[in-house]
Structure 1
Amino acid sequence: MGKVFTHVTMSLDGYVADPDDHFAELFDWYGAGEVSVPSGNEDIAFQVDEASAEALRDLTGNVGALVAGRRLFDIAHGWNDAHPCGAPVVVVTHNTPADAERWPRTTFASGVEAAIAEARKIAGGKDITIASANIIQQALDLDLVDEVRVSLVPVLFGEGVPHFTKLDRGHLLLEDPTVIQGRRALHLTYPVRR
């Protein structure tokens, strides 16, 4: 069975978006190099340095499903039903859109546990990635995450949408990270200590 990992690109001061939900400079690393990494969305291209290409391939190479929150899904306009990771998407929501058939590669689930269970069925033994800060928080509280991955970028937002907030279950211990130094991003992978 594949692992469940989280991934976000985060500012040095811990934000995944500015107060207006803009990502601004967070994704500069996706265009900071000469190595082309294929995307599952023809409208999105990755041109990264060699180290970031290794990290990006590791993030997307074995992903069978992606779990996201409704807010991110709406901001991204459903990625036009083609998330860059190339996998089907499971959206955690309490209100399935009336026009849900517009996104045939997207499943809508009520609650994080149900979304992860659905993602496991879809992934067929491949990895599952979680890409929304609030959903990550809930999955960590439910002990559903195997690895926490962060692409840390050299920008300070000062305010915005935080990646981590208070964990309901208290402290969560992680193992020492695997570190990949890329151009415009430091890619960190922390296994969750069990």
Structure 2
Amino acid sequence: MGKVFSHMTMSLDGFVANPDDEVGELFEWYEGGEVTVPNPNETVSFRVDDAGAQALRELTENCGALVAGRRLFDIAHGWGGTHPAGAPVVVVTHRAPEDAATAWPTTTFVDGVAAAVARAREIAGGRDVTIASAAITQQALDLGLVDEVCVSIVPVLFGEGIPYFAALARGHQLLEDPFVIQGRRALHLRYPVRR
């Protein structure tokens, strides 16, 4: 059975975007090298260093489904119907877009985090599920649904913005020691969740 990962790129001070939902320098590492990591979305390119390529492959090669929040889905315009991870997307929302079936045929809209992760697991079969949303990650951690917390830390301080982690309803969460990949413009960390 696949694992459930969360992954976000984050500033050193813990933010995944500034207060206006702009990512600023956070995604510079995706263009910081000579290694092209292919993806099915023609509008997105990844030219990273060797370490970044390793980190990306570990997160995407076995990804069978991706879970995102409605806000991120709207900001990314549904990734044009094809997420760069190359997997179907499950969006957590109380209300699907009216044109969901025709405009987003590879996207499933589900009400509730637990239901979304369950549906993503079904879609993924035995492959991994990646949560790519800060708020959804926080809720999934509270529900005990995350196997590994992954973060690519970028050397920038935003000072304020949208945090990857905020107050957890269950209180603090213990993680195991990280797997570490040092890349150019990003430090990639994977923390197994302690059960």
What TM-score, normalized to structure 1?
0.99
Q: Which amino acid aligns with 2:176?
A: E
What does residue 175 of structure 1 align with? 176
Aligned residues: CA RMSD? 0.5
Structure-1 separation of matches of 2:88 and 2:40: 10
Residues 126-175 of structure 1 show CA distances to partners (whole Å, capped at 9, x for unaligned) of 00000000000000000000000000000111111011111111111000
Structure-2 separation of matches of 1:126 and 1:36: 24
Residues 71-94 of structure 1 show CA distances to partners (whole Å, capped at 9, x for unaligned) of 000000000110000000000000
Structure-2 separation of matches of 1:137 and 1:41: 27
Q: Which runs of 5+ in 2 are unaligned?
A: none
Q: Secondary structure at the match of 2:29?
A: helix
Q: Deviation of residue 40 (structure 1)?
A: 2.4
Q: Secondary structure at the match of 1:148?
A: strand
Q: Secondary structure at the match of 2:141?
A: helix
Q: What is the number of equivalent residue pairs in this alignment? A: 194
What does residue 33 of structure 2 align with? 33
Deviant stretches of 4+, over 2 Å: none
What TM-score, normalized to structure 2?
0.99
What does residue 73 of structure 2 align with? 73
Structure-2 separation of matches of 1:40 and 1:189: 24
What does residue 192 of structure 2 align with? 191
Q: Which amino acid aligns with 2:89?
A: V
Q: Which runs of 5+ in 1 are unaligned?
A: none
Structure-2 separation of matches of 1:165 and 1:33: 32
What does residue 158 of structure 1 align with? 159
Q: Could you tell me whether the CA contact under 8 Å between 1:40 and 1:87 is conserved in 2?
A: no
Structure-2 separation of matches of 1:39 and 1:187: 19
Residues 2-31 of structure 1 show CA distances to partners (whole Å, capped at 9, x for unaligned) of 000000000000000001000110000000
Q: Secondary structure at the match of 1:121?
A: helix
Q: Secondary structure at the match of 2:114?
A: helix
Structure-2 separation of matches of 1:20 and 1:27: 16
Q: Does 1:119 align with 2:108?
A: no
Q: Secondary structure at the match of 1:135?
A: helix
Out of 95-104 and 179-188, give the one that drifted further: 95-104
